Amino acid sequence: MNEALRIYIIDHHLVAVTLILGMALMVEIGWQVGRRAKAKYNASKINASDTFMAAIFGLLALVIAITFSGASDRFDKRRDLIMNELSTISSAYLSIDLLKAEDQPKLRALFKKYVDLRLQVYKKPMEIEDQAKIFQQRLEIGNEIWQGAVKAVKTMSPLSFADTLVAAKILPTISAMFDASDYQRVGMKMHPPPALWVLLFLLAFVGSLVAGYIMGIEERRDWLLTIVFIIVMVATISLVLDIEHPRDGMINLDRVDQEIAHFRKSM
């Protein structure tokens, strides 16, 4: 799916609207089919119907549990990745103090540009093309930081034992900072296969169809149960979708993102 389309769909809650209309339509279709089957073939609700219902809704519950569990795990992982990136940036920035005073201002300025660039990733949902552009800029600034740090370490030549310790401290922390950024970039792309979402929506529609059919066979509408079922299902699926895409929906990582913004202000 096109990234712009995905962001538009989630931002405008089109999934919830589609589910509400689709499930209501399936219930009505099931109701009409059930009534006609009752009138034309004198169909009746048998024990097998309960078995089919239990199987369908059991499978639906299983798929929801799988998607919710996966989305929750990835949400926690993304939060941990943000905190890890903040920790590595902070450590690398503080390690600049180990260099000579004349080498520090340029590196500090580059670090500020680097953090400003990273903050753009956390501000709003982005299309893949925009993420690629920011990643390329991150590589360029990161290369400047690395070259500047290496040059600053070499100016300590001939290296004393203390200078060797400085190099062993600052260069790995900068490398860890770059690695944390890469982990975060990959983590933002981790989502369940589209087939799982298709199966989830399909089961929701099939469950609605079967529920409507059984009500049609019994010739008794249960509006309260129907409305509650649709609302609960739509709310649950929408919640899972928002957790899966925390930068697109109502659920977000703003409080964690703000920690990086606060660090930037302190630089």
Q: How many domains does the chain have?
A: 1
pLDDT of residue 46: 57
Those residues of the chain that have pLDDT short of 70 are: 1-11, 41-50, 123-129, 156-168, 249
- Give residue-wise pLDDT tens across range 78-107: 888 888 988 999 999 988 888 888 888 899
The candidate with the shortest Cα–Cα distance to 250, out of 30, 79, 16, is 16
No. of helices (H) and no. of strands (E), the chain? 9, 0
Residue numbers of the domain that contains 33: 3-266
Compute the distance between CA of residue 122 and CA of residue 257 in angstroms, rounded to an integer: 6
Q: What is the pTM of this model?
A: 0.76
Compute the distance between CA of residue 215 and CA of residue 236 in angstroms, rounded to an integer: 24
Q: Which residue is listed with tokens 């490398």? A: 175
- Give residue-wise pLDDT tens across range 40-78: 766 565 555 667 778 888 898 999 999 999 989 988 888
